[in-house]
Structure 1
Amino acid sequence: MKRRRDSLASIVARDIAERIENGEYPIGERIPIEAQLCDLYNVSRTVVREAIAHLRSEGLVESRQGVGVFVSGQGGLTLKISADEAGELAQILEILELRLGVEVEAAGLAAHRREDRQMDDIHRTLAMADDIETFAEKPRELDFAFHMAIAQATGNGYMPRFMSFIGPVIIPRSQLIHASVPKITRDYLSKMLEEHRRIAAAIDRRDVVGARETMRFHLAGSLERYRKLQAD
């Protein structure tokens, strides 16, 4: 019975997706309410809800409490990194390679385009991690905050959106199944903070080449740590 319901939900989701693609349900517009969809497809509310949940996970629709479900316009090809994938060493290496490709350019754009208020935000994230004991309490969150501040300083609206999307997995966590994540020691945090300062200094003086080089050095170091772990 469950298998049948899942099949119906997939059919409904696929049909709604096709209607969105051909413009029958335009971007920003509300799709038919739940009761109407039940009548249209002759299915139960449970099936409709599962179909909507699937479309929402694909980024095709978004729910607005008390208003309805709207076409979000963020569908199409989407990047998906599941929690299970993020816990595998091979996938962590691929995520770090992805970061290297995106964030080196982000640092250069930030150096070229940043405004004073954005530079203030970058310095603010550095200050939050300046005390090593505080940094040690939430190293991944503060590290991510620094990289997000740089993304916001690029002047490219897609950079922070991209970072927000992969935020939960962009900083590798201790989820490895076949190996142990390298320990985050106080010495390592001090080294990370110093690298952050060098990146920020290059952005501050609008040194595009220097910002890219310091960011590449910073991320390449993390990548090398995990490659050694894989070799071991």
Structure 2
Amino acid sequence: MKNYLIKKIAPKLFLTFALILGLSMVSRADVIRLTVKEDLASCTGVAPMTCMQVKYKNSKNWELFYSQINGFKYEAGYRYVLLVNRTKRKNVPADASAYIYTLKKVVKKQKMQTQTSPWDFVVKHKWKLIQMNGVAQSNSPVYFTFDSANKRIAGKSGCNNFFGGFERNGNSLSFKQMGSTMMACSDELNKLEHQFLTAIGNQAFTYDVADQTLNLYQNNKLVLMFGTMQ
């Protein structure tokens, strides 16, 4: 009788144990609401790339989103409101997000007004140096903006501010009358600043905008690459 009961109960106990073990290995998914911006932004992971810009439920500003959302097909020019399942990973691989994101529902998809030309996009944004003479510039302090109405450029070349004028004709862009402040800097910033101002100062380039980056060329060679800043 005893052996009979053991044989009858054992499969049920095994099934219960298996279910408990399986549940313990899978994290519970949280449902979060994300607003996805209509354009991408430059970001740096293992290498320079582009990321979606999102707002969470309590976000005031757009935040860079370094992960992918499984099942979501992003289309530039549209702003999305999404419900997303967010599951925490048990063992997080190197250089990977702590979460897995999976689309639950597209709540809203809205067509947004797009820029009429690449140059309209250029003058709208602040640009951060991400590559110079083929060398990636991670966490670079160098950035600038264009004042299209007055044909002026201004920004930071390291620890100093720089400024000057520019001329644009089609896809040609030239800089002139460049200058900067003269604050004391570290040797590292001095070197970066000298390289950047030499590369851009009173120089002529052709330019294009690709994958949310502003690229400056000389003799068909990429000299400077900039990404958009918040």
TM range (shorter): under 0.3
Q: Which structure has the higher relative contact order (CA within 8 Å, separation 6+)?
A: 1
Please state which structure has a larger fraction of its residues in strand: 2
TM-score of the aligned structures, taking structure 2 as reference length: 0.24
What is the TM-score when the length of structure 1 is the normalising length?
0.24
